Structure 1
Amino acid sequence: RKFQVEVTGEEAHAGTTPRRRRKDAVLAAACMVQALHRMMEDADDLLRFTIGAFEAFPGAPSVVPGRVRFSIDFRHPDDALRARLGDAIRPLCEALAGPCGVHIEEPQAAASVDFHGAAIDAVRHAVEIVGASHMDLYSGAGHDARNMALLCPSAMVFVPCENGISHNEAENAKPEDLAEGARVIAVAIAELAGAH
């Protein structure tokens, strides 16, 4: 689920406005973010929670921020858990707004997608034929396969990246791992094509 949160306070001069009279949007937003992180703790480490954007306005060093916008992106394979936690975001933020207002929108909420059993089996079989090491894993990432799964049997193949880094300019996959992943995909596609 993805949310956009806007906290509205009141701009004021940083040097002349007493703290007790401030409507500091950054302070309210920071309290919300900290409480959200605590609420999203997950002993199984399957839940993915990210504040990917955080902007304060007007963004001047000598002005108490009057407005903050931040994003929430959280994912979990269990639809019921995701619904329960997502539904708790609004009341939690409202309770922590203090003298500020808060407006929350949810531009995206999507159910988990289970990939097609035959496609997964074809990938598992292809891995054995290629002789690659492998493991099943939950992907919190959407990728094109998420949309394709609504149209046809789909699965995903991941290759190792150095230090597990992804979506970062330091992302690095060895050419031999990429080649092995491509072989797995080719064998799986051939197997699925032969099955139809």
Structure 2
Amino acid sequence: MNLDDWRSRINDLDNQLLNLLNQRAEAALRIGDLKRRKDLAYFVPEREAEIVDRLVKDNGGPLPAAAVRAIWREVLSASLALERPLRVAYLGPVATFTHQAALQRFGSLAEFQPARTILDVFEDVERNRAEYGVVPVENSTEGAVNLTLDRLIDSDVLLCGELRLEVAQHLLSRAPDLHQIKTVCSHPQALAQCRA
């Protein structure tokens, strides 16, 4: 087969995938209707984890497991958004590690609500302004995030999942050599994460 043949094959496969995804979405909507009639939770994280774990296990490649997880995270997020998007509070602003964790866990079609503080995240969930909240619990350099743990003890909200996120910081400078840098200005948490 030549390049045009392969591109034609990919177009056909894309059309099949789109058709199957829409069939899946229809099935998800019907399940949503049944759940509503029986007053069942419309989002069941355990079920989503079961689906993704099964697909990763059954994957024969060449897609790596991480790609399968990322693709299905978005498929599941899109299916859920057909009923209504999840409202997820997280320790903001946008692009923080907590926001990245929320995106990784709930997919890009959730409605994300940045909160100024960890306490604000808890309050958003407690007052039903969000169904879920994402807060830091622990990190490898600073250990436990005591404010989160203290609030978990005092709150009626429940811990329902965890996600490990690789944290990397980058140093920007106009100095051509690292040894020429005299002062680093940063948030205290970011500085603590860079201790070696």
Higher strand share: 1
Q: Which has the larger radius of gyration?
A: 1
Higher helix share: 2
Q: Determine if the TM-score, normalized by the shorter chain, exceeds 0.5.
A: no
TM-score (norm: length of structure 1) = 0.23
TM-score (norm: length of structure 2) = 0.23
